[in-house]
Amino acid sequence: MKSSKRRRLLHEKLPPSFLSTLLSSPDNCSHPGQTCPPSMATPLTDQEKRKQISIRGIVGVENVAELKKGFNRHLHFTLVKDRNIATPRDYYFALAHTVRDHLVGRWIRTQQFYYEADPKENVCSFLFHSFAAALHFLQRVYYLSLEFYMGRTLQNTMINLGLQNACDEAIYQLGLDMEELEEMEEDAGLGNGGLGRLAACFLDSMATLGLAAYGYGIRYEYGIFNQKIRDGWQVEEADDWLRHGNPWEKARPEYMLPVHFYGRVEETRDGSKWVDTQVILAMPYDTPIPGYMNNTVNTMRLWSARAPNDFNLRDFNVGDYIQAVLGRNLAENISRVLYPNDNFFEGKELRLKQEYFVVAATLQDIIRRFKTTKKGTPGRTSFESFPDKVAIQLNDTHPAMAIPELMRIFVDIEKLDWDTAWDLTKRTFAYTNHTVLPEALERWPVQLLETLLPRHLQIIYQINQVHLDRIAALFPKDMNKLRKMSLIEEDGCKRVNMAHLCIVGSHAVNGVAEIHSNIIKTEVFRDFSELEPDKFQNKTNGITPRRWLLLCNPGLAELIAEVIGEDYVKDLSQLEKLNDFVDNAAFIRDVSKVKQDNKVKFSQYLEKEYRVRINPSSMFDVHVKRIHEYKRQLLNCLHVIAMYNKIRQNPTAPFVPRTVIIGGKAAPGYHMAKMIIKLITAVADVVNNDPVVGNKLKVIFLENYRVSLAEKVIPATDLSEQISTAGTEASGTGNMKFMLNGALTIGTMDGANVEMAEEAGEENLFIFGMRVEDVAEMDKKGYDAMSYYKKIPELKQVMDQITSGFFSPRNPELFKDLTNMLLHHDRFKVFADFEDYMKCQEKVSKLYQNQNEWTKMVIKNIAATGKFSSDRTITEYATKVWGVEPTNLKIPPPSEPREAIEETARALKKM
């Protein structure tokens, strides 16, 4: 029987008398008939009682016994297994269903509470606005995203319900290992990277803040591909994450909805009609999203495509049954696979189908919910209050078709006049921009839209006409401004600019870091910003501390709780209290020990997975994110080669040992990104097998980087690499996760790094390289990579090694494309920052030699992470975009009668 490190941590917190009480309980036997040790229980002192309560939940004898009974019940009755034939995966499913039991009552109760908090429809419009702040539950928030990078659910749910310690103890008493069971869970990889993970963090925060919020997306049958590294090359394998089933979702066939494609538009006396369409059904699957310790459980609804029963029946009627079934499969391809592209637009018809599919189904669902009122009262027929009851946030341009779709519903189906419909639509939608890279901005060909969604193209044209008429009136004869601000681009292939559609059709537009928001206001969307400056806002991204501290780094989470209390979990700004402990020798020692323990654990993982012996005392220098030229993994790789050369030139010289860890996936069609991976793995092969280097330098490329792997590597990291070219990274959230977990940042003044430096003090980060204004100046003068190559000896040596085939002796020309790009057409100016990066890395090594000073800087960074909680981000969205107020209100638990719900709802309305 194994004992996980997490459970050992638990037992260090619990007094012996409490443990003996647990072990002596007759309900705690692992098998029937087993003899339990005699009771040695003694009453708990007040101090012992305080110790048994932690941010991971209370361990009570009755909790543990109940969880064990639930586990055995599900093993027998849900999985139809016993302990003789059950596999570790069966045990995981039994535990997941047991934990899910604790979710269901809260999930239903949350929906009851939202239902009870809904007002009577006869309240006048004035009152809706007057009480908007107090009656925040009355407005529902809908977060539309094509990606939700959820990762694993089990441990996060146990933490948010306060069950983790009790579950750890129950599983231990059952003779099983909790960490082994957690590893059986598949990552829900329904996202490419930062955008999808941000959406997942936001769902957690919305539930924790008590907002009536829903996440809407697609239930991809295959998520982001599994990355295998074979002979140094990335190979993609399908991520069949549903092959064993998903215990966390609930299918809702009763809410299945039709979605239309193709067809034609017919003009009638009653208005435009979209006819002769192909119908696909959208089947919803609901996943519970628990808030932290507040009994709120919100819903993420993901749509799956289904063919209607009569699909291609004419083929079946003439005997071609096989063709009929194949046709059904083609229809269902809409939700088959997540497009594995990050910061790159690919105008494929299937992708546009996915984007329209999710918004068409979602808007029908939203309007159904809007029209539904309490039993016995008539449903809503007036849409006057729609924006007061419904807030829709568009996560990038992927769900942009929601704007013409809502107009189609209002005008064609609900028969509102155009001006009223447009006013309601603009007041309902808000848009978040996530990138400034031109290749990432969506521009759909008009011809494709005309075929697939003919009525929507008409509506877009009409929106554009009204918009351009306004511009022409404000700026007469300025044809250039009309061209730049049009929704339709006419250069070459006629295309619809989806970012422009989102801006025109929304009441609020935001970037995701101060520097990014300024760039979209002053450069990318300057004309729109000058026209409507109040529309543009900043909402700096954040991360949920529940997953990115409590879950992944329990040792640090508990240590912080011991010195400042537990309230920081829901109010991360309280971490600033750690500034009082920067010079506390005991706290410095404890923080350093937690980091070292995490490094030892991750070293063991690396040695097992990669068969490379890691020095856990070396500096863990980590660069994990999607592989892309602008993220500049190449700059890191050039530095690794330079360090290797330094060791080779003088093996006896002092050198601070480093383990350089790089990980991330390249889009399957992105040749340069795949070449970057190949170069990193080729360099790793040389460095790791050179006896002169020994344990001074190791290079690891992390295969298949994903959420669950991030949870392992981030707590063990000493140095976080955030080295994108200034002005290219919108925000970054990995930088925040590393900062919260006690890593120091080496980075450019880009994205959220700028605000991290403001919060912690620039002297507490390792900042290097060009600023945004320097990059702009260089763009004007022209970037000459060869001049840097000629004047920096270390850089020339590194490039000559790569070019000559030093790292690819069997194929000296292998990296020709990479070296040619770096020397002649590098958009992201790697060489321009190389020298400053090298000098900054020397400062890093120097400070690392003084572990006391290093750890002091770590504590200062952790103390400054309060701003980067997704709770703060969502609070800003709620109050400044959606017009609602978060609450600390705790919904009555399922154990209380239904009347408690009604009473709480009444109390809320009186606030």
Amino acid at 146: L
Q: Put residue 245 in one of left, alpha, beta given phi > 0 → left and psi -120 to 50 → alpha.
A: left
- Return phi, psi of residue 869, to 5°: -85, 140
Q: Which residue has the tokens 């390289």?
A: 769
Q: Euclidean distance between the first and final Cα of the chain, in Å?
A: 54
Query: Which residues are part of the catalytic machinery?
Result: 434, 625-626, 631, 733, 737
Residue 236 burial by CB count (10 A; 0-12/13-18/19+): exposed, middle or buried? Answer: middle
φ/ψ region of 732 (left if φ > 0, alpha if ψ in -120 to 50, else beta) reads left
Residue 250 backbone class (left: φ over 0; alpha: ψ -120 to 50; beta: rest): beta
What is d(CA 796, CA 565) in angstroms, rounded to the nearest whole number? Answer: 53
CA 866 to CA 571: how far, in whole Å? 8
The Cα–Cα gap between 707 and 703 comes to 12
φ/ψ bin of 80: left (φ > 0), alpha (ψ from -120 to 50), beta (otherwise): left
Distance CA(389)–CA(136), nearest Å, equals: 9
d(CA 475, CA 483): 12
What does each C-alpha distance from 884 to 128, 257, 546, 608, 657 come to in angstroms?
12, 29, 23, 49, 51
- Pair 125, 877: CB distance under 8 Å: no
Q: Is the separation of the CB atoms in 629 and 672 below 8 Å?
A: yes
What are the C-alpha distances in Å from 198 to residues 117, 402, 504, 740, 868? Answer: 29, 21, 24, 16, 12
At residue 719, φ and ψ (nearest 5 deg) are -125, 125
Q: How far apart are CA 868 and CA 427, in angstroms?
A: 28
Q: Taking the CB of residue 428, how many other CB atoms lie within 10 A of it?
A: 24
Token output for 621:
């220098």
Using CA atoms, how far apart are residues 461 and 480, in angstroms rounded to an integer?
19
Query: In whole angstroms, what separates CA 271 from the centre of its chain?
Result: 42
| Residue found by looking up tokens 């996936």 in the block | 665
**Side-chain-side CA neighbours of residue 741 (13 Å):** 35
- Structure token digits, residue 117: 């908090």
- DSSP H or E stretch at residue 251: strand 250-251
Q: CA-to-CA distance for 284 and 298, rounded, in angstroms? A: 15
- The candidate with the shortest Cα–Cα distance to 55, out of 292, 289, 295, is 292
* Ramachandran region, residue 441 (left: φ > 0; alpha: ψ -120 to 50; beta: rest): beta
Asked if residues 442 and 345 have their Cβ atoms less than 8 Å apart, the reply is yes
Element (H, E) at 149: strand 148-151
State how far the Cα of 238 lies from the Cα of 243, in Å rounded to an integer.
11
CA dist list (Å): 153 to 71, 185, 567: 17, 8, 23
CB 551 within 8 Å of CB 569: no
CA–CA distance, 173 with 68 (Å, rounded to integer): 9
Buried b or exposed e, range 22-44, using 16+ CB within 10 angstroms: bbebeebeeeeeeeeeeeebeeb
CA distances from 489 to 347, 497, 528, 596 (A): 15, 7, 16, 55
The 10 Å Cβ neighbour count of residue 437 is 17
